[in-house]
Every structure is written in structure tokens, then in C-alpha cells.
């Protein structure tokens, strides 16, 4: 087994575990946090595929911006008081040592490879240039048609969330 | 910058005029949809009902004209994304025609039910954009986006009866299950990309004919079939149908039991026959037999007319799927053309039947149970006669569209030596006759036990009914022209290597 396969399986396992946990959690914030794990693990998978740009976008847009929106929505919907469970003690017992250990490991790896040259921009197949070419040339039509999709999604929100008319239906009762 | 002209490389990267003509119907429909949305808040609400409806109708008519114009310029557009061919023109006309008739039959319904019209007509037009694109797309990514446009607009339309809990249930159920099904389709697309390295149907077709067929391709086809099977309400992915059809507004049931189904069948035809999907016969055989049987048996015990027609819709998806189980290239042409004819015939008769149901349902869709139809033959003879013809067509009586639709499908199946499947189909048609006839019997042979008011037929609905009626009878008496057109476009659809085998 090479490193690539091990990493693929590891990210995949985190992704699936996060998704299952998302379904199992009752508290919305816990669900949102599990979703972040799923998104981050997916970003790792994209990186393994050589799609560096998509991986970065995944982290910035999904794990970043969209998750913040999620959390804000949960906050506005009044999610209730956070419960302290045994899970939080486990997090302290294992989380802090784990974080320290991970940090030390990462620092060690970075120091050891400090002389290595970085991957040149555009060396991988998924660089922004290629994506731009694909998105605005070959896949221009699907890209533009997505605007219709978003438009009807907005209309759906307007229609289904607006207040229903209270007036009773009219016509023939004779 | 020293020169102001585009370099040659850039000119190639800009869509040309012909590219736009090949998606002209979609552009026209979107433009009219946007006009409806923009006008909605500007006009007075009482007036807006009619005005926006007319604009929606005008959009559909303009879309039909644009389709005629598109048909003069066949070919690929937007770097092999969409293909304007006879096949896509056929489904464009069908889908936009359905949208037009549904808009017509909604005028009165919307006023009676007191539903705000604005987004309604816009959503029908945008939904039609997605469905048209589904029929012309030759790229699985585009098909996915078009499928989502078509699905999401129907999810929303199903929930338009805001005062009824059943309508919200219908919308939510359809949305949750539908998104699940679309995810299956997307997974299938991803696996197909993994197996062949492309998402373009033509490229996939070439790869599979020259190279070895991996196990992954079978999995991809199966998953894509799950997604599309849900959209066409084929068993075993049909469970949502009765509940969703029961709660949704009646004209919209007429819409979503025909137009998105036709589009999903178009995708299925293009994918299955262009790719010449390996190992499809068993899968489609089982799905066809199950859909026919479960649909017809389910319909036998229904007392709500909308639910009854929902089960009948499952059964008809089953008859249609029979045409997909053919394999050799000669049979393929008859299979594809039979399936295309069937979608058109089913659309004509089902839209008509639901137009009658929506008129008869009255405020709050109060009268939709079978016993409300008692004595309709006497109290409203014209409406009853029309419904009778649509129901006879759904049975498959000669002189109606349903007869030739079933005839072509069954003969395609017999030609492909699918004797058992044909037998199941014939037995099911006989079973189906029972519950359609039951409605006719109730209308003509029972005394009305309670007072059910029926308003006179308004103009819009009258035109809609007339169009459906003419289409049903035309396809039932003079089916040749439509069938020949379907056969021609079916031959175009098959990959060239298969054509040369003949």
C-alpha cells in the first residue's frame, strides 16, 4: 500500500464517519461541526486527485463561508442551550494532547523538508488556468444554465416561505 | 495591446450564432419566464392572474416557433454540449406544447383556488427550459443540471396550494425523495466518468464500442437508471407517486405526469441507445413488468381520481419501458420510435384527463373522489364525454392515441422476441381497462347521490381541452406522420457504427 492509497482511505473514512455522525447528532451545532469535518475531508480527497484549486475552494467556500452561514442560521433559529456531556470531557482528555502531538509532528515534518522546493504553479492538472478554460469554454453552457437553476431555487424559497393567502377559495357553491 | 481584433484562438472560444440558434427555444422560454417574474409585482393582483397567464402562454407559443427555427439548423452546439437533431426537436415540441396547454387550463383553476399566479407561470416556463435541455443535451453534466432545473421547478409547483396541508406534504415528499434519486443519477455519472474518462455521451459510446466494458459501467448504468426511474415513476421507485399527485394542484399533476417524464424518457433513450448500454435488457425487463403490474393493481382499489390516475401513470411508464428492452439495431429503431410515440400519446390523453379533473375539482379541490363523479354524464354531458374519450384512450381503444401507442410498443417488443414481457403487458392492459371503465360507469350509470356543482367550461380550459382532444384523436386516427418522424430521428440517434451493421 502506498501513501496515496492510505491517505485516500483515511480521508474517505473521516468523510463517511462525519456524514454518519451528522445524521446521528440531535443538536444542530454538532451536526454543523460534523459537516465541516466532511467538507474538510473532501478537500483532502480533491488534493489527492491533483485538484489543488478545487481543494482550496472547497475549504474557503464550503468549510468556511457556507458553514458560517449554517451556524448563523442555527443561532438565529434559537437552537437552545448547549449540553455538557461526557463527550466534552473526552474531548479535553484526548483533544488537547492530540492537538499538541499533531502540531509537533507537523512542525517536525516542515522543519525536515525545509530545503525542498515547492510544486510549481500549474504543475498539477487541476490548476486555476485549466479550470478557467474548462468552465468558461467547453462547459460554458452548463455554467450559464446553472443561473436558471439558482433562479428557480430562489423563487421556490419566495413561494413556499411566503405567507399563504388567508382568503378562502371562491366559486360555485350553488 | 497592439491589436484590437480577437486573436484566432479567442474567436474559436466565443460561441457563434449557430450555437445560440440551437438553444434558442430555451433562451426564449427563459426570457418570457423573466418577464413574468418582473411584471408580477408591477401589476395589480386581480388583473395579474390573467395577464401573467397570457404572457406564460405567449412564451410557450414563442418557444414552439423558436423550436421550428432551431430545427432548420441541426447540429452540435457549445462545444458538444447540446445536439439539435430530430429527436430533440420532437421532445422540444412535446414539452413546450404541454407547457402551453397546462398554462391555458390553469387560468380558471388559479382564480378558483385563489392562488397567486406570478411565480406559477414563470416556474412552468423555467421547468420547460430544463426539460428541453434534457432532451437535447449530449453531456451528462448538462443533463444533470437540466434534470435539477426540471425537478426543482416541479417540487415547487407541487406545493402551490398553500392552504392545504396535503400540498405541502406533496412538495416536501417529492423534494426529499427526488433529491435522493438525483444523487443516485449523479453517482452514476461519476462512475461512468471513472470507467470511460468522459461525460460526453458520444465519446462514452465510442470508448465502450472499441474498448473492453468494465464492471464499473454496469454499476454506472444501474445507478443512472435508479435516478431516471424515479423521475418517470417506474417501479420499484414509484412509491412517491400517489401521495405527490394527490396533494399537488390538478393542472400541475397533468404537467408533471407528462412533461418531466417525457424529458426523463428522452434522456433514458439517448443514454441507453447511444451508449448501447450493456446488460440493460434484464434491468429494464424487470422494471417494465413491475411498473405495469404494481401500477395497475394499485389503481384497482383507489377511490380518489387523482390517486387512481397516479397509479395509472406508473402503469403507463411500465408499458413505455417495454420499448427499451430491445437490443439489436433493427429493433432499436422500432423501440425508440415506439417509445417516442408513446410519450406523445400519453401526454395528449393525460393532460386532457387532468384538465377535466382540475375543472371538476372546484374550490379547494373538494370533488376529487370517485363518488363525486356519479351522474356527471347527465349534469355535464360535454365534460363527461371528453373525460370518457381520454379514459378510453388510456385503456387503448382503437381510434384513440392510446391504441397505437400500445400497439407500437407491443409490436416492438414482439419483434425483439420479448414474448413474456408482451404477455404481461397485454394482461395488464386488460386489468387497466377495469378501473378506467369504472370511472365511465360511475359517470353514466349511477344517479348522483349528492349535489356537485359544475361551472360552465371557460374559454382557456375549453381551448386546452380541445387541443388535447384533437391531439388524442389525431394520433389515434392518423399516426403515420408522427411515427415516421419518430423513426427518422431514431435512426439519427443510433451511433454510426450500429447503423453500418444494417
Residue A168 counted as domain residue: no
More confident residue, B136 or A121: B136
User: Has residue B480 got a pLDDT over 80?
Assistant: yes
User: Has residue B296 got a pLDDT over 70?
Assistant: yes
Does the distance separating the beta carbons of B163 and A164 come in below 8 Å? yes
Q: Are B121 and B53 in contact (CB under 8 A)?
A: yes
Question: Is A107 in the same domain as A155?
Answer: no
Question: Is A10 in the same domain as A78?
Answer: yes
Chain B nearest C-alpha distance from A49 (Å): 12
DSSP secondary structure string, chain A?
--HHHHHHHHHHHHHHHHHHHHHH--SHHHHHHHHHHHHHHHHHHHHHTT-HHHHHHIIIIIIIIIHHHHHHHHHHTT--PPPP-HHHHHIIIIIHHHHHHHHHHHHHHHHHTTTSPPPPTT-STT-HHHHHHIIIIITHHHHHHHHHHHHHHHHHHHHHHSPPP-SPP-S---
What is the pLDDT averaged over residues B302-328? 90
Chain B positions in Cβ-Cβ contact with residue A148 (cut-off 8 Å): 30, 126, 129-130, 149
Here the cell at position B330 is 433493427
B25 Cβ under 8 Å from any chain A Cβ: no
Chain B nearest C-alpha distance from A61 (Å): 20
Question: Is A24 in the same domain as A90?
Answer: no
Task: Please provide residue B212's backbone torsions phi and psi, each rounded to the nearest 5 degrees.
Answer: -75, 150
More confident residue, B459 or B448: B459
More confident residue, A164 or B415: B415
Q: Number of residue pairs across A and B with CB atoms under 8 Å? A: 98
Question: Is A109 in the same domain as A157?
Answer: no
End-to-end CA distance of chain B: 57
User: Has residue B335 got a pLDDT over 80?
Assistant: yes
What is the pLDDT averaged over residues A43-71? 89
**Model pLDDT, residue B139:** 94
**Model pLDDT, residue B144:** 96
Residue A106 counted as domain residue: yes
**Model pLDDT, residue B48:** 66
**Model pLDDT, residue A174:** 45
Question: Is A47 in the same domain as A93?
Answer: no
Chain A positions in Cβ-Cβ contact with residue B30 (cut-off 8 Å): 148
**Model pLDDT, residue B263:** 96
Interface test with A, best of B31, B152, B178 (most A CBs within 10 A): B152
**Model pLDDT, residue B29:** 96
Chain A nearest C-alpha distance from B73 (Å): 18
Share of chain B above pLDDT 70, in %: 95
Q: Which residue on chain B is closest to A171 by alpha carbon?
A: B112
Question: Is A63 in the same domain as A15?
Answer: yes
Chain B positions in Cβ-Cβ contact with residue A160 (cut-off 8 Å): 156, 159, 171
Question: Is A68 in the same domain as A43?
Answer: yes
Model pLDDT for residues B1-60, shown as the tens digit of each residue: 444 555 666 666 788 888 999 999 999 999 999 999 998 888 877 766 788 899 999 999
Give the count of domains, chain A: 3
User: Has residue B276 got a pLDDT over 80?
Assistant: no
Residue A90 counted as domain residue: yes
Rama region for B79: left / alpha / beta (φ>0; ψ in -120 to 50; rest): left
Residue with cell 382499489: B301
Chain A nearest C-alpha distance from B180 (Å): 15
Interface test with B, best of A136, A144, A149, A161 (most B CBs within 10 A): A149
Residue A171 counted as domain residue: no
Q: Is the ipTM of this complex over 0.95?
A: no
Residue A122 counted as domain residue: no
**Model pLDDT, residue B502:** 37
Model pLDDT for residues B342-360, shown as the tens digit of each residue: 999 999 999 999 999 999 9
Does the distance separating the beta carbons of A164 and B160 come in below 8 Å? no
Question: Is A36 in the same domain as A111?
Answer: no
Q: What is the pTM of this model?
A: 0.91
Question: Is A3 in the same domain as A56?
Answer: yes
Among the listed residues B100, B103, B35, B20, the one whose alpha carbon sits nearest the alpha carbon of residue B66: B20
Q: Which residues sit opposite B84 in a β-bridge?
A: B75
Task: Tell me which residue range forms the domain holding A22.
Answer: 1-82
**Model pLDDT, residue B324:** 85
Question: Is A63 in the same domain as A38?
Answer: yes
User: Has residue A84 got a pLDDT over 90?
Assistant: no
Model pLDDT for residues B205-238, shown as the tens digit of each residue: 888 888 788 889 999 999 999 999 999 999 899 9
**Confidence band (pLDDT; 50, 70, 90) for B405?**
very high
**Model pLDDT, residue A166:** 61
Of A138, A153, A169, nearest to B114 by CB-CB distance is: A169
Q: Which residue on chain B is closest to A137 by alpha carbon?
A: B13
**Confidence band (pLDDT; 50, 70, 90) for A40?**
very high
Question: Is A100 in the same domain as A139?
Answer: no
Chain A positions in Cβ-Cβ contact with residue B113 (cut-off 8 Å): 169
Strand (E) or helix (H) holding B245: helix B241-247
Chain B positions in Cβ-Cβ contact with residue A158 (cut-off 8 Å): 119
Question: Is A1 in the same domain as A39?
Answer: yes
Model pLDDT for residues B90-120, shown as the tens digit of each residue: 999 999 999 999 999 998 888 888 887 778 9
Residue ranges per domain, chain B? Answer: 20-501
Amino acid at each position: 500500500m502506498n501513501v496515496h492509497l492510505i491517505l485516500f482511505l483515511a480521508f474517505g473514512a473521516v468523510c463517511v464517519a462525519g456524514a454518519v455522525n451528522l445524521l446521528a447528532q440531535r443538536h444542530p451545532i454538532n451536526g454543523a461541526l460534523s459537516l465541516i469535518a466532511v467538507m474538510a475531508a473532501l478537500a483532502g480527497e480533491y488534493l489527492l486527485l491533483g485538484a489543488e484549486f478545487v481543494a482550496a475552494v472547497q475549504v474557503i467556500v464550503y468549510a468556511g463561508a457556507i458553514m458560517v452561514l449554517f451556524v448563523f442560521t442555527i443561532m438565529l433559529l434559537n437552537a437552545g442551550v448547549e449540553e455538557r456531556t461526557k463527550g466534552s470531557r473526552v474531548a479535553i482528555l484526548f483533544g488537547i494532547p492530540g492537538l499538541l502531538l499533531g502540531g509537533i509532528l507537523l512542525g517536525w515534518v516542515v522543519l525536515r523538508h525545509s530545503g525542498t522546493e515547492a510544486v510549481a504553479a500549474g504543475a498539477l492538472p487541476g490548476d486555476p488556468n485549466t479550470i478557467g478554460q474548462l468552465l468558461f469554454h467547453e462547459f460554458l453552457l452548463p455554467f450559464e444554465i446553472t443561473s436558471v437553476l439558482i433562479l428557480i431555487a430562489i423563487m421556490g424559497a419566495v413561494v413556499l416561505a411566503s405567507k399563504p393567502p388567508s382568503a378562502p377559495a371562491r366559486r360555485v357553491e350553488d | 495591446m497592439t491589436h484590437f481584433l480577437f486573436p484566432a484562438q479567442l474567436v474559436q472560444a466565443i460561441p457563434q450564432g449557430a450555437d445560440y440558434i440551437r438553444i434558442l427555444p430555451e433562451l426564449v422560454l427563459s426570457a418570457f419566464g423573466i418577464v413574468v417574474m418582473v411584471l408580477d409585482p408591477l401589476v395589480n393582483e386581480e388583473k395579474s392572474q390573467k395577464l401573467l397567464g397570457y404572457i406564460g402562454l405567449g412564451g410557450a407559443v414563442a418557444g414552439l416557433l423558436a423550436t421550428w427555427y432551431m430545427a432548420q439548423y441541426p447540429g452540435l452546439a457549445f462545444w458538444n454540449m447540446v445536439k439539435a437533431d430530430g429527436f430533440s426537436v420532437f421532445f422540444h415540441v412535446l414539452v413546450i406544447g404541454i407547457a402551453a396547454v397546462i398554462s391555458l387550463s390553469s387560468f380558471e383553476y388559479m382564480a378558483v383556488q385563489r392562488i397567486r399566479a406570478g411565480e406559477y407561470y414563470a416556474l412552468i416556463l423555467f421547468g420547460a427550459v430544463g426539460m428541453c435541455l434534457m432532451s437535447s443535451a449530449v453531456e451528462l453534466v448538462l443533463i444533470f443540471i437540466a434534470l435539477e432545473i426540471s425537478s426543482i421547478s416541479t417540487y415547487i409547483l407541487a406545493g402551490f396550494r398553500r392552504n392545504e396541508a396535503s400540498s405541502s406534504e406533496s412538495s416536501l415528499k417529492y423534494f426529499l425523495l427526488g433529491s435522493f434519486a438525483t444523487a443516485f443519477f449523479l453517482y452514476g455519472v461519476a462512475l461512468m466518468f471513472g470507467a470511460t474518462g468522459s461525460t460526453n455521451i458520444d465519446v462514452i459510446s465510442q470508448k465502450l464500442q472499441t474498448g473492453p466494458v468494465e464492471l464499473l459501467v454496469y454499476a454506472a448504468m444501474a445507478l443512472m437508471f435508479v435516478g431516471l426511474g424515479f423521475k418517470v415513476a417506474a417501479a420499484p421507485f414509484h412509491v412517491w407517486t400517489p401521495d405527490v399527485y394527490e396533494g399537488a394542484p390538478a393542472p400541475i399533476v397533468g404537467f408533471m405526469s407528462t412533461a418531466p417524464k417525457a424529458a426523463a424518457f428522452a434522456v433514458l433513450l439517448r443514454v441507453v441507445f447511444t451508449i448501447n448500454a450493456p446488460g440493460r435488457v434484464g434491468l429494464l425487463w424487470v422494471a417494465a413488468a413491475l411498473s405495469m403490474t404494481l401500477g395497475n393493481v394499485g389503481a384497482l382499489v383507489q377511490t380518489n381520481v387523482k390517486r387512481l390516475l397516479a397509479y395509472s401513470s406508473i402503469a403507463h411508464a411500465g408499458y413505455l419501458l417495454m420499448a427499451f428492452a430491445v437490443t439489436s439495431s433493427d429493433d432499436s429503431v422500432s423501440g425508440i420510435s415506439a417509445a417516442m410515440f408513446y410519450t406523445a400519446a400519453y401526454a395528449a390523453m393525460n393532460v386532457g384527463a387532468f384538465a377535466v379533473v382540475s375543472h371538476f375539482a372546484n374550490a379547494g379541490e373538494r370533488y376529487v373522489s370517485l363518488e363525486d363523479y356519479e351522474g356527471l354524464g347527465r349534469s355535464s354531458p360535454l365534460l363527461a364525454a371528453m373525460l370518457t374519450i381520454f379514459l378510453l384512450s388510456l385503456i387503448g381503444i382503437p381510434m384513440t392515441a392510446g391504441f397505437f401507442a400500445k400497439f407500437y410498443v407491443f409490436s416492438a417488443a414482439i419483434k425483439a422476441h420479448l414474448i413474456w414481457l408482451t404477455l404481461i403487458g397485454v394482461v395488464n392492459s386488460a386489468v387497466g381497462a377495469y378501473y378506467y371503465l369504472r370511472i365511465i360507469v360511475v359517470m353514466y350509470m349511477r344517479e348522483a347521490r349528492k349535489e356537485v356543482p359544475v361551472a360552465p367550461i371557460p374559454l382557456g380550459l375549453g381551448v386546452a381541452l380541445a387541443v388535447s382532444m384533437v391531439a388524442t384523436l389525431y394520433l389515434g386516427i392518423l399516426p403515420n406522420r408522427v411515427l415516421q418522424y419518430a423513426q427518422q430521428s431514431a435512426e439519427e440517434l443510433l451511433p454510426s457504427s450500429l447503423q453500418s451493421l444494417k
